[in-house]
Each structure stands twice: as structure tokens, then as C-alpha cells.
Amino acid sequence: MSKILTQIIYEQDYHLWLETTLKQLQERDLEQLDWDHLIEEIERLGNEQKHKLESYLLQLLKHLLLYQHWSLPECKNHWEVEIDNFRVELRKLTKSKNLYNYLLRVLEEVYIDALRQAKKKSGLNCFPQTCPYSIEQILDVDYLPPFIY
């Protein structure tokens, strides 16, 4: 398959490009592979996984803070369910050792965003400036922080 045809397929029929690339990989047809787009897609996939992890972690931390510090009894059950949902998604992602290590690297940075969002949502200014939860607590499906309000 020519490079021009490969480019057209990639731009106009992504699913066909994926099928073609998969077949070429399975057949070890390295000469015909669309290396540039394959590299781009693998990079994008890795970045997408990291973005998902950061997003779930942000939401989890924010909900842990709100659960612990904001006395709205009618929201308690909602926050517990959301905390559990985000933990389930994080647990799936962190089965990858690479993504688990990434979580450890970005925890404090993501916490700063969660802190900012918790302050905006609640109007409170009582949240800790650094993450008060250990990685074990963050990922523990049974852990809920004690109420401080």
C-alpha cells in the first residue's frame, strides 16, 4: 500500500486504518506499516490514559475533601457514591504499574486543583494545603475520612 493511500485511509476512514495496521502488525509486515501515524496514535493513547487518571484522581480528592469538611447531610450519600465510582475507575487504571507510578508523581499537583475546586464549590477556606490522604487511603474502597465540621 502506498504512503499516499495510507494517508488517505488514515484521514478518511480511521477504522479501516486501524484494521489495516493491526493486520500488518499481526503479519509482521513492518515494511508497509504507517509508522508516523502509528507512533502518533500510541502517544495519544498513553496521554489519554494519563489524562483519565488525573481526572478521576481530581474528582476523588475533591469529593473526599467535601465529604470530610462540608456539613451538608443531604450530600453525604451522593459524595460516598461518587467517591466509590472514582475509586473503581482509578483501580482499573492503576492495574498498570506505569500508571500507578504516574499517579504517585502527580498526586500533589492534582491535589492543588482539587483543593481549588473544593473551595469554589463550598465557599470554605478550611481545607489542608497539602494532601491529607495517603495513597493507601485514596485507593482504599472502604476508607472515608472522618468528619471535621
Q: What is the pLDDT of residue 51?
A: 96
Q: Is the pLDDT of residue 41 over 90?
A: no
Q: Which three-class secondary structure state does DSSP give residue 65?
A: helix
How far is Cα 51 from Cα 53, in angstroms, rounded to an integer? 5
In this predicted model, what pLDDT tens digit does every residue of 69-92 receive, in sequence order?
Answer: 987 778 888 899 999 999 999 999
Q: Which of 3-7, 55-59, 67-71, 125-129 has the lowest mean pLDDT?
A: 3-7
In this predicted model, what pLDDT tens digit does every residue of 87-138 receive, in sequence order?
Answer: 999 999 999 999 999 999 999 999 999 999 999 999 999 999 999 999 999 9
pTM above 0.85, yes or no: no
Q: What is the pLDDT of residue 47?
A: 85
H-type alpha helices, the chain: 3-12, 14-26, 35-69, 73-93, 97-122, 135-139
**pLDDT confidence bin for 10, thresholds 50/70/90:** confident
Decide: residue 22, CB within 10 A, 0-12 exposed, 13-18 middle, 19+ buried.
exposed
